[in-house]
Amino acid sequence: MATVSGSRLLAKALKDQGAEVVFFLTGGPITPASYACTVEGIKVIDVHHEQAAAMAAHGWGRVKGKPGVCMAAAGPGVTNLITGVAAAFMDCFPMIVLGGAFAMRQEGMEAFQEIDQLPMMKPITKWAARAARTERIPEYVAMAFRYAQGNRPGPVYLDLPGDILHGRVEEAEVNFPPKAQPVRPQGNPELIDKAVKVLSTAERPIVITGTGALLSGAGPELTEFVERHGIPFYTTPQGRGILPDDHPLCLPGARSVAFREADAVLLVGTRLNFILSFGRPPRFATDVKIIQVDIDAEHIGNNRPVEVGIVGDAGLVLRQLSAVGQKLPNWVESPWVKRLGEAHRKREASQEAVLNSDQNPIHLARLCREIRDFMDRDAVLAVDGNATLNMARQIIPTYAPGHRLNCGPFGCLGVAVPFGIGAKVAKPDTQVLVFTGDGSFGLNAIEVHTAVKHNTPIIVIVNNNSGWDHLQKDPKGNHPGAFIGDKVRYDQMAAALGCYGEMVEKTEDIRPALKRAAASGKPALINVITDPYVGAETQDFYGY
């Protein structure tokens, strides 16, 4: 009978569960597993730092709408994954994290890289386990995919000791479980009726959606519901694109007014966390009636009481609400929607001056406008940095689901370049732009070489404003910890690594530089020198 290694079983199990790509950094004991993945037809993308592997898998998964996979060698390889895994955990996004480990037969002997990795991963994953026997590796992989996608999604971790990976067993004795299928429950019909009654008496309703609606693929159901009833909708930053940002019922310029004055909120697939100011006053009215739809019962009513809490899949619950609520009013001509439309247009008009600014150094808002006008409609935009992300959020739209990637609830800087790589691997024929601050770019700057090595032509635009966030004007020029450097030549660094690189200092040169970057056909970096004292107004998330 034929024997097979644990590494080969791992690769076959990943293939059975639908894995298409593994992002990793080679090393013991997982190197043979990467070879086995290629034999199974799984693409392997090696990076320069393991945190980038986790972030790229996260970005790939967001664009694909399914779990990404990352893998690292034992010891420091696994510990380097932690930041990227934590970001996915806070984002409630499914990811399969595989870590090599020291041989179990050497446990307690101070083996090479012997450290207990499970306790490190347990607080930042939904499930963490160690494969105890070679022949059971496919069972553990199937469990990992079930846990990652079940109930509230999130990353999971599987520890793979070297002697388990390198062990050999009779293949005929191995059980390969079927592909894990996420369960999509409907909402309780009585609660659906109650939610419809709440909406029927509302004068100022809004809908807010998040990642849960994206993972559900609820775009069609959301479109039908809001268009039939003329209800304005908003998304969390990570949930953008489920409906295009230029939809007539999407009025982002009136976001603060809508939240503050709404008398009913239908919250679908997102949490009442800091991004929504915990659903509390003064961000929301004291007496607002909230209908919360979430796949996870534990999140219903978290941070403030809700009028109706419905546990269920976002798309299926929206379908139920549409069926039961066919006689709900249409608010599209109501004073409420007209008021939000006026506030939205007023906000847009107030931005015209900075969007058209020809100042030198370049105004960040003008840079955002140039990127906006250059992008394809279905482009993926990966953004990080503080001032960069906040200004881009207000100016650069997203029109396709899953095509907006940012720092997420963890506020994790350094994600944009790995996210962009993951996105481009996921959709090689789609334009992918990475918009990053000079500080956040530095955290994973070397990964532009990963893009070169794997022929992944992303376009990186660096907002080079000389510092972390924007600098504060100080008569003594004192910027402790904030100043990075004046006109650092990131473009030359990228060019040395095989990218197209160009520095831009004048407004009129931005668009031609972007066009040259796209025409180069290879990864590119445009280093844009901007005003170091320009920031962006945003909601206070800190609470202190």
For residue 453, what pLDDT is reported?
Answer: 97
Rounded to whole angstroms, the Cα distance separating 291 from 299 reads 12
Please classify residue 123 by burial: count the beta carbons closer than 10 Å to its beta carbon, then call 0-12 exposed, 13-18 middle and 19+ buried: exposed
> Global pTM?
0.95
Q: Mean pLDDT throughout 474-500?
A: 85
For residue 112, what pLDDT is reported?
Answer: 65
For residue 102, what pLDDT is reported?
Answer: 79
For residue 538, what pLDDT is reported?
Answer: 66
For residue 542, what pLDDT is reported?
Answer: 54
- The dihedrals phi and psi of 68, each to the nearest 5 degrees, come to -85, 165
Provide the 10 A C-beta neighbour count for residue 178: 8
Window from 8-22, 419-433, 446-460, 524-538 with minimum mean pLDDT: 524-538
Q: List pLDDT tens digits, range 184-242.
A: 999 999 999 999 999 999 999 999 999 999 999 999 999 999 999 999 999 998 899 99
DSSP strands (E only) in 184-272:
205-209, 233-235, 264-268
Q: Mean pLDDT throughout 325-352?
A: 94
Domains defined along the chain, listed by start: 3-173 (3.40.50.970), 189-344 (3.40.50.1220), 351-529 (3.40.50.970)
Q: Is the pLDDT of residue 445 over 90?
A: yes
Which tokens belong to 515? 């066009």
Q: Mean pLDDT throughout 461-469?
A: 90
Q: List pLDDT tens digits, range 72-128.
A: 999 999 999 999 999 999 999 999 999 998 777 766 767 666 789 999 999 999 999
Q: List pLDDT tens digits, range 349-366.
A: 999 999 999 999 999 999
Q: Is the pLDDT of residue 161 over 50?
A: yes
Angle, CA of 380, 526 and 374, to the nearest 5°: 45
Contact 433, 416 (CB under 8 A): no
Residue 276's pLDDT band (cuts 50, 70, 90): very high
For residue 193, what pLDDT is reported?
Answer: 97
For residue 522, what pLDDT is reported?
Answer: 97
For residue 395, what pLDDT is reported?
Answer: 95
For residue 479, what pLDDT is reported?
Answer: 64
Rounded to whole angstroms, the Cα distance separating 374 from 376 reads 7
What's the one-letter identity of residue 433? L
Which tokens belong to 379? 């482009």
Chain length of the chain = 544
For residue 103, what pLDDT is reported?
Answer: 77
Rounded to whole angstroms, the Cα distance separating 375 from 348 reads 19
Partner residues linked to 382 by β-bridges? 405, 434
For residue 359, what pLDDT is reported?
Answer: 93
Residue 540's pLDDT band (cuts 50, 70, 90): low
DSSP code of 237?
A: G
Rounded to whole angstroms, the Cα distance separating 406 from 400 reads 15
DSSP code of 486?
A: S
Which tokens belong to 79? 């510990």
In the sheet that holds 233-235, the strands lie side by side as: 233-235, 205-209, 264-268, 289-294, 308-311
For residue 544, what pLDDT is reported?
Answer: 45
Determine how β-strand 168-170 pairs with β-strand 3-5.
Answer: antiparallel
Average model confidence (pLDDT) across the chain: 93
Of the chain, the percentage scoring pLDDT greater than 90 comes to 86
Rounded to whole angstroms, the Cα distance separating 57 from 83 reads 13
Q: Residues 6 or more apart from 491 whose CB is under 8 A from it?
A: 501, 502, 503, 525, 526, 527
Radius of gyration, alpha carbons of the chain: 24
Q: Mean pLDDT throughout 32-47?
A: 97
Provide the 10 A C-beta neighbour count for residue 183: 11
